[in-house]
Amino acid sequence: QVQLVESGGGLVQAGGSLRLSCAASGRTFSSYAMGWFRQTPGKERDFVAAISWSGGSTYYADSVKGRFTISRDNAKNTVYLQMNSLKPEDTAVYYCAADGSARGGHFYVWEYDYWGQGTQVTVSS
């Protein structure tokens, strides 16, 4: 079992940056691919980015490509989402998730096994 705790959300002006962190419990963190999703009220949870177990492969939604960077530190059991050039439409609750496939590259909610509680990101115009 993997427990995930996100942090780093907050309020930022458009054009600004935030770095989200997701700390995982358990010794098997390095065997999981990881992903970030986001959700706004009344809408489905959408894929943002994913990373393979080694960090060698990364995947991004078109809406964040070139602005967001996903990375991981397996020694610290942590995955990060660096968000630059933020836009008001990036406002959402951001969730990290663990994908037992290890290789990763999955873009749908049902493909992930464990979820964090989410962290709010608000981008003001």
Predicted confidence at residue 73, as pLDDT, reads 96
Predicted confidence at residue 28, as pLDDT, reads 86
Could you say which residues of the chain have pLDDT below 50? none
User: How many alpha carbons lie under 13 Å from residue 6 in its C-beta half-sphere?
Assistant: 27
Predicted confidence at residue 104, as pLDDT, reads 81
Predicted confidence at residue 25, as pLDDT, reads 93
Picking from 45, 18, 23, 44, the residue whose alpha carbon sits closest to that of residue 98 is: 23
Residue 87: φ, ψ to 5°: -120, 155
